[in-house]
Structure 1
Amino acid sequence: MHKRIIGFLALLFFSLQTIAQSAGKLYDHPSWSHQSNIYEVNLRQYSATGKIKDFQKHLTRLRQMGVDVLWFMPITPIGIEGRKMSPSELGSYYAVRNYKAVNEEFGTLADWKAMVKKAQSMGFKVITDWVANHSAQDNHWVRTNPEFYVKDSIGKVVSPFDWTDVYKLNYQNRRLRDSMIDAMRFWVKETGIDGFRCDVAEEVPEDFWRECIAELKKIKNVYMLAEAESPKLHHVGFDATYGWSLMGMMSDVYKGSKTVAQFDSLLQHNIHRFPEDAHRMFFTSNHDENSWNGTEFEKYGDAYKTFAVFTQTMYQSIPLIYNGQEVPNKKRLKFFVKDPIEWKEFKMAPFYKTLLQLRKKNPALSADASYERLKTSHDESVFSFIREKNGRKLLVVLNLSAKPAVFSIQDPRVNGKPYNVFLYTNESVSDKQNISLEPWGYIVYDYK
């Protein structure tokens, strides 16, 4: 009887643990990550040379702006076979010719190691893009290990989607799995990076990611970002996933094709769909969006700052800034050819500095701080919410419409004399008074 009771209790404990993992907290993120932000680096377009050494000259500026995590688009050599091969064609970053080398376009492995060491000494974390779903057609594995690739019914190697410069990798092959983990381990052990952004992560089997991430975390507590919007990926070890659906919704709200109620409905849906301790990467731009779908000015017009404030302050957010947004860069950067950012002015840098430094200082903007939307007298256009943690409170008020809004926030928690972070002054706020906001206006109040 005693053994049966012990067995029952063990089973009960395991079941409760499983339930807790599916509905609540999964694991510990790196301690530095909860109030961090991510800055995406497109080395090819960052300078006229595209060299790692030239990017390194920007580190002081970026640190002063408040950037925490540097995410580099793939730094590995690019395949030649399958390119369009126009005279200026440099190929896709995401066609990996060698998983353990640095693209000569950017510099050397020694240059990369030196930059990582310098950046980390200044307080940055460094992650790099990783392409596990496919490789370049002229990756040496195609020749040495053809079994590493998916083949069709007549034995021809398969290209995923319409990406004719790459071949799909075969994760039913044990040696391929081991080789991919070994390559990722190389970058963590040999160059000291702090994690990976994993390209088209949902196209790679979940059980591979579970095994891979567990192996990497034996070296250090790496930060893992999945280019996907799938709750399941958090359950196999990813810290963060993309907020693709929210990005699309923000654009629709600006265009008037979606309402604030629909905006809120999507937020609530995602909050309940994702694990409690998930990190979500929210953004108004990234390399894909900028090159193929338009700049934030094309997509959000006069609301580009409003939605940037939202991505920086939302529940679970680890917000992204794409290089050049601090200028601001108003052109679509070309993807396959040189098209450098013009670093003439930094008109948006103070705006981002205000938000990034606020995130760093205020635990109410930690990804795991509480979130609640507050009722206003104008909910059809005004979106207001409160974040709280460790006795700190932050109020965010957004006018998500092209018309001025005059309204009250009907919650006594707003009462006080908080600090307006963009006007640099304390203001009296009450649930009995009206607030006025211009079209697409925003306020962030810090209750210190």
Structure 2
Amino acid sequence: MKKIFLGLLLALSGAATHGQKSSAPTTPPQHPAWSLQGNIYEVNVRQYTPEGTLNAFAKHLDRLKAMGVQTLWFMPLNPISKTDRKGSLGSYYAVADYTAVNPEFGTLADWQRLVKEIHKRGMKVLIDWVPNHTGADHRWLTQHPEFFVKDKEGKPAVAFDWADVRQLDFRNQAMQDSMIAAMRYWVTKTDIDGFRCDVAWNVPATFWQKCIPQLKQVKNVYMLAEGDSAYLPRSGFDSVYPWHMFKKMVQVAKGQRPATSLDSVYQEQLRLYPKGTQQLYFTSNHDENSWNQSDFGTFPGPVHAPFAVFSQTMADALPLVYSGQEEPVLRALKFFDRDPMSFQKLQRATFYKTLHALRQRTPALASDAAFRKLSVGDDRAVYAYVREKAGRRVLVILNLSAQPQTITVKDKTLLGKPYNVFMGTAEPLTSKPWQVEPWGYVVYEYGK
């Protein structure tokens, strides 16, 4: 759901506390090996096809596999509450039943069959999980009213200003156990590979420290937190949202901040997170698309490409592509009603395929590969860096400005005849100055 208050505790009696002062480990868990050079594609089932079903989406699997997609993250699959429903179909994140499939999308058998087809293609599956709150008519409200925070009138409290959901009370151990049991259900019953946890930043560390080890006893699941608080990776999450970096990217794209401002955020991330924490870099997702017009409003036209390259090649990055970005779909998709996309032009598909293929074939772009910043021109406009691991290197040069920029590569170890990833050929790289166009990008691979 939309991230409204970073690190802000719910101002209600009995609200969750983060537990940042806990004795949690200072290093993240051992990531599933497949995630180190992986990528994620977020699936908005409701809007993906005219039918808006799991079976209809399945027809796109081969296309997405060909585009180099490795992991599919599905927005919540659960039934949606009808009480206080927004729009005609409601929010995905107003869950009515944690252990059922939304009939709008199909059946549990449809989902199980889809997971098998995804795995058959060598791809992974994450589902969106909503632990902070339930929908306004979830069965727990009548069966277990003690599972919920109460407002001043003694009624189940609304979570933040989201009128269609009710805040769960994490002081209740039975509720915690029931939540973990529901998550285990999806792993054991449908063989998913992990969870993207909604509003993870408002769920206490003690819960995650209890939940994640239990899940990993069943399967080495991948855990992605919607949140950027340091306690999340310390509590067992594999990856977090780099919100500060994303917001800085938007400012740079608008010309409000220089490219050098990205460095300060990167250094802040190094101080904030345990070494090895992965971060979900993106130019759009379901919230940013629907509420903030990403990427067509935040990174319009040619501005998008260098930031997409940045999200796919940056240190500690786990890159995300949102449904329709490959088309590209240049509108805000409706959130509570049907608003199907169409996939006809696929104008960015080759662009993303090139980046995914590079990431998959070279350890230099693994999330734990070394990062070295370079100065190859006007640092206020040009952002350049080298990624390196296991004797392999990738050089990235991004013009994050609306003006052409002069580039001079002085590092002798980078000169020679590297492979130009987007040109598809090896080409001479000397110390002589050359120019890159406005919002241009160049990616060289060494040791191919």
TM-aligned CA deviation for residue 425 of structure 1: 1.3
Query: Structure 1 CA distance, aligned partners of 2:434 and 2:365?
Result: 23
- Quick check: 1:375–1:411 contact (8 Å CA) kept in 2? no
Structure 2 counterparts to residues 289-300 of structure 1, below 5 A: 289-300=288-299
Q: Does 1:56 align with 2:58?
A: yes
Structure 2 counterparts to residues 131-142 of structure 1, below 5 A: 131-142=130-141
Aligned position for 1:181 = 180
Q: Does 1:129 align with 2:131?
A: no
Query: Structure 1 CA distance, aligned partners of 2:99 and 2:54?
Result: 17
TM-aligned CA deviation for residue 265 of structure 1: 1.3
Moved more, 292-301 or 57-66: 292-301
Structure 2 counterparts to residues 322-401 of structure 1, below 5 A: 322-401=322-401
Structure 1 unaligned blocks of 5 or more: 1-17
Partner SS for 2:422:
coil
- Quick check: 1:80–1:138 contact (8 Å CA) kept in 2? yes
Deviations 1:76-105 (A, max 9, x none): 000000124x5xx10000000000000000
Query: Structure 2 CA distance, aligned partners of 1:39 and 1:240?
Result: 15
Partner SS for 1:214:
helix
TM-aligned CA deviation for residue 384 of structure 1: 0.6
Q: Does 1:30 align with 2:29?
A: no
**Number of residue-to-residue matches in the alignment:** 425
Deviations 1:326-353 (A, max 9, x none): 1111111100000001112111100000
- Quick check: 2:28–2:237 contact (8 Å CA) kept in 1? no
Query: Structure 1 CA distance, aligned partners of 2:68 and 2:131?
Result: 31
Q: Which amino acid aligns with 1:240?
A: S
Query: Structure 2 CA distance, aligned partners of 1:271 and 1:153?
Result: 42
Partner SS for 2:174:
helix
Aligned position for 1:14 = none
Q: Does 1:277 align with 2:279?
A: no
TM-aligned CA deviation for residue 65 of structure 1: 0.6
Structure 2 counterparts to residues 188-203 of structure 1, below 5 A: 188-203=187-202
Q: Which amino acid aligns with 2:79?
A: P
- Quick check: 1:377–1:410 contact (8 Å CA) kept in 2? no
TM-aligned CA deviation for residue 51 of structure 1: 0.7
Aligned position for 2:256 = 257
Query: Structure 2 CA distance, aligned partners of 1:405 and 1:227?
Result: 36
Partner SS for 2:318:
coil
Query: Structure 1 CA distance, aligned partners of 2:25 and 2:237?
Result: 14
Aligned position for 1:229 = 228
Query: Structure 2 CA distance, aligned partners of 1:66 and 1:315?
Result: 20
Q: Which structure shows the bigger proportion of residues in helix conformation?
A: 1
- Quick check: 2:260–2:383 contact (8 Å CA) kept in 1? no
TM-aligned CA deviation for residue 409 of structure 1: 2.4
TM-aligned CA deviation for residue 19 of structure 1: 11
Deviations 1:85-137 (A, max 9, x none): x5xx1000000000000000000000000000110111110010000000011
Structure 2 unaligned blocks of 5 or more: 1-21
- Quick check: 2:405–2:435 contact (8 Å CA) kept in 1? yes
Query: Structure 1 CA distance, aligned partners of 2:274 and 2:376?
Result: 28
Q: Compare CA radii of gyration and give the structure with the larger one.
A: 1
Partner SS for 2:42:
strand
TM-aligned CA deviation for residue 153 of structure 1: 3.3
Query: Structure 2 CA distance, aligned partners of 1:443 and 1:271?
Result: 26
Q: Does 1:171 align with 2:173?
A: no
Query: Structure 2 CA distance, aligned partners of 1:252 and 1:185?
Result: 41
Q: Which amino acid aligns with 2:57?
A: F
Moved more, 185-194 or 150-159: 150-159
Aligned position for 1:106 = 105
Q: TM-score, normalised by structure 2?
A: 0.93
Aligned position for 1:209 = 208
Q: TM-score, normalised by structure 1?
A: 0.93
Q: Which amino acid aligns with 1:207?
A: T
Partner SS for 1:60:
helix
- Quick check: 1:398–1:442 contact (8 Å CA) kept in 2? yes
Query: Structure 1 CA distance, aligned partners of 2:226 and 2:309?
Result: 22
TM-aligned CA deviation for residue 154 of structure 1: 3.0
TM-aligned CA deviation for residue 20 of structure 1: 12
Partner SS for 1:196:
strand
Deviations 1:376-402 (A, max 9, x none): 232221111000000100000001111
Query: Structure 2 CA distance, aligned partners of 1:253 and 1:410?
Result: 26
- Quick check: 2:24–2:209 contact (8 Å CA) kept in 1? no
Partner SS for 1:337:
coil
Q: Which amino acid aligns with 1:354?
A: T
Aligned position for 1:93 = 92
Moved more, 149-158 or 113-122: 149-158
- Quick check: 1:44–1:338 contact (8 Å CA) kept in 2? yes
Distance 1:256 1:276, change over 3 A: same
Q: Which has the higher contact order (CA 8 A, sep 6+)?
A: 2
TM-aligned CA deviation for residue 188 of structure 1: 0.2
Q: CA RMSD in A?
A: 1.4
Partner SS for 1:318:
strand
